[in-house]
Amino acid sequence: MAVPTSWLIALRSLRRNKLQTGLTMLGMTIGVATVLTMISLGSGAQLAIQDQVKAAGMNMLIVTAGNYQARKEKPPDDAIEMGAVRTPESFGRPRLVLSAFHPEDDPFAVHDHPTARSRLGDSEAGLGAAATLTMADSDAIRNLPGVQYVCGGVHENIHVVNGDTRWFTRVHGDDVSLPNIRRSWTFLHGGFFSAREERKNDQVVVLGSVAATKLFGTDNPVGKTITLWKQPFKVVGVVSSSSWMIAPSEGDDQFDAVYIPVTTMQSLLNLSKLNDITITTKSTGDVTRVGNIVTSLLRNRHHIGPDAPDDFTVASQAAKALSSGGLRPDVATAVTGNVNGLEKVTLDQLGRTLDKSSRTMSALLASIATVSLIVGGIGIMNIMMLSVTERTREIGIRRAVGARAHEVLMQFILESVILSVAGGLLGIVIGVVAAIFIARSVQWSTSISPLSIILSFGISAAIGIFFGYYPAREASRVAPLASLRYE
Amino acid sequence: MPPVISVRDLTKTYHVGEHSVHALRSISLDIEPGEFVAVIGPSGSGKSTLMHILGCLDQPTSGQYFLSGKDVSHLSDDEVSLVRNQQIGFVFQGFNLLTRTSALENVELPLLYGAASISAAERKSRAMAALTAVGLESRFDHHTNQLSGGQQQRVAIARALLNNPSILLADEPTGNLDSKTSIEVMEIFQSLQRERGITIVLITHETEVAQYGSRIITFKDGNIVSDTANDNRRHAAAESAELAAVTEGAA
């Protein structure tokens, strides 16, 4: 049998009273739609805040070449130190000599710190200067579980030239995945360079918005050519910040900067090493664990013995962000106005505060929605109670032809459940549409999780059973005889 | 063959406030299979109470009621429901059909309850057969409010017959009908008795209607005052043929 008779009875009965059925369902529909919309607004706000916090780098790890800790070992024999005092065998007299000329050492044209192992050993090199990280390391990290994006980088200071305009700024040689890591990035013009351009070592450049303004004013620089290291670079994009927590400003590391493919930078400067590797984790809470895995992976790859210190440093961005002032205090103050000494608040704390306030907001919205659900439920109960009185005769007829008390109970409960679940399903559809509509029209972030849909569905079924039980029990107690006298 | 209905010392007392109303005072009677018994009496005579007890809609204060040889006066609610479903067919004065429901679905109703599960197709074919028996097969999809009083009563009869009950209990079945349709309904009752041997208990306060029965039991103040075979029986089929002839003659 396709449909159990109890369902058939309930469905036929609901069909008999179409208007009543429709109106009762409407109450439930509005209730569930409200709940779903409210939850989606609440969790949308929460997600938006989490996003902003992530955009500020909460899930970011940075592996920097070198270590603060000095090693007590001699520099390699082939290390050439600039300005070293040497004693040439032929003259027998100490004499200050400059090392052989190297293109990277030209103090006038290019850059200012040595990178290659041949000129400076790992031992005393400071952060970023040691030549210990390679592209292979970055590829190995990319394959670790829990890792989202990996980007190896080489960083220098540079004069960027557009015609007569010169601007001294940072140049970052980076991987194509960088825009995925810098979640707060938005491209004002063009976009980031492509994987193909990176593979082919193309001379393309993406300008930070500050650098772009300095060089081009308000013009759109995409397609124009600028000069780095006396080499022509084609501008492919201008990047700015979409997050209120990070505002572009002169001298910052992200937007007063230019970006070129790391391969291009390595081949132009004749480098094989990376200064650092930026990693994002899939989940914010995973940063420490992934950091430990990366550490052991790199120690293994670099063949570092158990007693030897790391030749790299793994740091999470959360701590860094505070010191570099990546936060916009005015906005933060507006949100957490009652927090004293905001400049001392870490990003982590701020994130937690924002999270908490958005959760309060969600709770408020949810409680409003709950009220409307209860109203919907009481509506169902009201109708069911009314129909027990109104349908005494019908119940009597059913009893007379052989319906047992529990069959009548089942019929009324099923009617109530069908009403609330059908109303609930319709409400879910309307709620989802409303959430999408709100997101599109008012630009509020909304988020509908499968969980909130399952929850709404469950709540509506539960309301059907809960508010349907009492009327149904009343119905089942109607005496078969009483109904026949009821005219 | 044992009697279909056997009632022994049946009493029913209602308590209204401090008063006791004795609706039935120690009734005993037997009804044999195939009988068409008309129970007659003024209102308050206890005939309706008897019918409720015979129909297992109510339970006696004391006494025993054997339906097809089985004592049904002290069964549980669920057991009694099953008895009503399987062994008793009801026809009421007010038709008692479900409103806003098609004739077919009304007739199907007893099959939705009861122990056995029946397929939708079988349910429909049995309901259609019952509707055909009362001559309403062409109106199976009409809602009850689209049917005349006589047609509604015929739907109710079809519903009552669906589970092939041991007895058909009719409580003032013609009370809401005009004389012509009353004759039509009685014609169905008499043919059911004659052709299918169905036992019928008809409750009425009208002597003319009681005359259709093969046996007449008269009630007064909760007692049986007379119980006689009806020698002077009316025949609905003949009357309706006569009526048709008169109508034709007039035309």
Per-residue pLDDT of chain A (487 residues; tens, 9 = 90+): 346 788 888 888 888 888 888 888 888 888 888 888 888 888 787 777 666 666 555 677 788 877 765 555 555 566 555 555 555 555 555 555 555 444 444 444 444 344 444 444 444 444 445 667 888 888 888 888 878 888 888 888 888 888 888 888 888 888 888 888 777 788 888 888 888 888 888 888 888 888 888 888 888 888 888 888 888 888 888 888 876 666 777 777 788 888 988 888 888 887 778 888 888 877 666 677 787 888 888 888 877 777 777 777 777 765 444 444 444 444 444 444 443 443 344 555 566 666 677 778 778 877 877 787 788 788 888 877 888 888 888 888 899 999 999 999 999 999 989 988 999 999 999 999 998 898 888 777 788 888 888 888 888 888 888 888 999 998 898 888 865 665 4
Contact A65, A127 (CB under 8 A): yes
Going by C-alpha positions, the residue among A139, A138, A113, A135 that lies closest to residue A126 is A113
- Chain centroid offset of residue B109 CA: 17
In a domain, A332, yes or no: no
For A270, the token pair is: 């004749």
Q: How many structural domains are present in chain A?
A: 2
Min Cα distance A435 → chain B (Å) is 39
Q: A226 has which bridge partners?
A: A233
Going by C-alpha positions, the residue among B146, B150, B155 that lies closest to residue B128 is B155
In a domain, A132, yes or no: yes
Rounded Cα distance between A412 and A6, Å, is: 10
For A159, the token pair is: 């004069």
In a domain, A344, yes or no: no
| Best residue of B54, B72, B80, B81 to probe chain A, by most A CBs closer than 10 Å | B81
Rounded Cα distance between B171 and B92, Å, is: 5
In a domain, A339, yes or no: no
Q: Which residue of A has its CA nearest to B118?
A: A1
Tally C-beta pairs within 8 A across A and B.
76
Rg (CA), chain A: 34
Using a CB-CB cut-off of 8 Å, the residues of chain B touching A1 are: 117, 119-120
Q: Are residues A122 and A38 in the same domain?
A: no
In a domain, A341, yes or no: no
In a domain, A26, yes or no: yes
DSSP character at residue A337: T
In a domain, A330, yes or no: no
What is the per-residue burial (b if ≥16 Cβ within 10 Å, else e) of B225-249? eeeeebeeebbbeebeeeeeeeeee
Strand A60-65 versus strand A276-281 pairing type = antiparallel
pLDDT at A37: 87
Q: What are phi and psi of B67, to 5 degrees?
A: -110, 120
Rounded Cα distance between A209 and A188, Å, is: 8
Q: Are residues A81 and A210 in the same domain?
A: yes
Q: Are residues A294 and A391 in the same domain?
A: no
Q: pLDDT by residue (tens digit) across B126-166?
A: 999 999 989 999 999 999 999 999 999 999 999 999 988 98
Q: Are residues A218 and A103 in the same domain?
A: yes
Domain of residue A43, residue span? 5-54+350-485
CA A126, A131, A137, A139 dihedral sign is positive
Rounded Cα distance between A476 and A223, Å, is: 80
Rounded Cα distance between A345 and A325, Å, is: 11
- Write down the domain spans for chain B: 5-96+168-250
Going by C-alpha positions, the residue among A101, A112, A401, A95 that lies closest to residue A229 is A112
Rounded Cα distance between A427 and A432, Å, is: 8
Q: Does B159 touch chain A (CB under 8 A)?
A: yes
Q: Are residues A368 and A432 in the same domain?
A: yes
Q: DSSP 3-state assignment of A207?
A: strand
**pTM of the model as a whole:** 0.64
Contact B4, B199 (CB under 8 A): yes
Rounded Cα distance between B184 and A217, Å, is: 102
Q: DSSP 3-state assignment of B49?
A: helix
| Best residue of B57, B162, B163, B176 to probe chain A, by most A CBs closer than 10 Å | B57
Asked whether the predicted pLDDT for residue B212 surpasses 90, the reply is yes
pLDDT at A91: 54
Helix (H) or strand (E) holding A198: helix A195-199
Q: Are residues A76 and A153 in the same domain?
A: yes
The residue count for chain A: 487
For A89, the token pair is: 């065998």
Q: Which CATH class is domain B5-96+168-250?
A: alpha beta
Using a CB-CB cut-off of 8 Å, the residues of chain B touching A19 are: none
Helix (H) or strand (E) holding A260: strand A257-261
pLDDT at B155: 94
Q: DSSP 3-state assignment of A283?
A: coil
- Please give the angle made by the CA atoms of B181, B183 and B185, to the nearest 5 degrees: 70
pLDDT at A117: 41
